[in-house]
Amino acid sequence: LPSLSPYSDLLHFHPICTLVHIQDCVFSVFHLMDPPHLLLPSTKMHSNSWPWKTFSPSEEVFRSVRILSSQHLVLNPTISIGSVAWRGDKPLSESTRAYWEVEVDGSPYGTSVQFGIGRRHSLCRILDFVDLLGMDDNSYGLNHLGFAQRAGMKVRVSKPLEGINPRIGLLFDGPNRSLSFFINDEYLCTPFVDIDLSETLYPFVSSTSQWTSLRLCNQYSKNEVLSLLSLTRRKVNDSFDSKFLNAILPKDILL
């Protein structure tokens, strides 16, 4: 793991962070040449190994994935005719903080190799060479070229994920509803904030490239006990327009 220490709400309000609104989507975009340093709270997390899912109800999807072990899979093992996605068996909720890494065998190439999260019923196959994660509002994904996508909207948020056998780290912060990315132990970006947690999410990967070999490693998590105040704030924030809340509530009450 990278050097580990506690972190706070800088995910939302760092001075060099810009919240970009595209229609109903919010992306958190940092200056690409001078990103803030985000450290992982490993001392507060526990080792928690979980596998790739081992089956799919769709025969078409299952034929496009080869499970080599519980931690190792290959997307598009024979030929690629579009985008395929696969999920990990790790539920992610508003009380979950989790970190995991996906090591790419070789170098990511092609139109899109994505890392992200999604709901159980997220789209997992399409006969087109496009970013699959984030195509709709059921998933969120960052591709190897540095573009983040959610609800069909795409924004450049980081440098490309380059190098031989890169390890892509993902830090899911349920209490703060955010998803951050790392590469080879270095912080990359936090493109996803205000994540919709009305349904359970799971780790996902996707690729358009033939023989995309991906290995899970360095998995940690912790379930936080949310206070009554936090739960109340979350409910109020989700139920009313932010402009209305800003007008009637003190700043220390708002999320």
Residues in Cβ contact with 244 at an 8 Å cutoff, skipping those fewer than 6 apart: none
Please give the CATH superfamily to which domain 10-224 belongs.
SPRY domain (2.60.120.920)
Angstrom distances, CA of residue 54 to CA of 35, 50, 69, 83: 37, 12, 9, 19
Q: Could you give the 3-state DSSP secondary structure of residue 60?
A: helix
Please list the pLDDT of the chain residue by residue as tens digits (255 residues).
Answer: 444 333 333 333 333 345 555 555 555 554 333 444 556 655 578 999 999 998 887 888 989 999 999 999 999 999 999 999 999 999 999 999 999 999 999 999 999 999 999 999 999 999 999 999 999 999 999 999 999 999 999 999 999 999 999 999 999 999 999 999 999 999 999 999 999 999 999 999 999 999 999 999 999 999 987 656 566 666 666 667 666 766 776 655 555
Collapsed DSSP state (helix, strand, coil) of residue 255? coil
244: phi then psi, degrees, rounded to nearest 5? -65, -45
Q: How far apart are CA 225 and CA 241, in angstroms?
A: 26
Rg of the Cα atoms in the chain: 18
pLDDT of 8? 30
At residue 189, the pLDDT reads: 96
Among residues 149, 145, 147, 144, which one has the least CA distance to residue 134? Answer: 149
SS3 at position 231: helix
Residue with tokens 């994660």, as numbered in its chain: 133
| Whether this model's pTM surpasses 0.85 | no
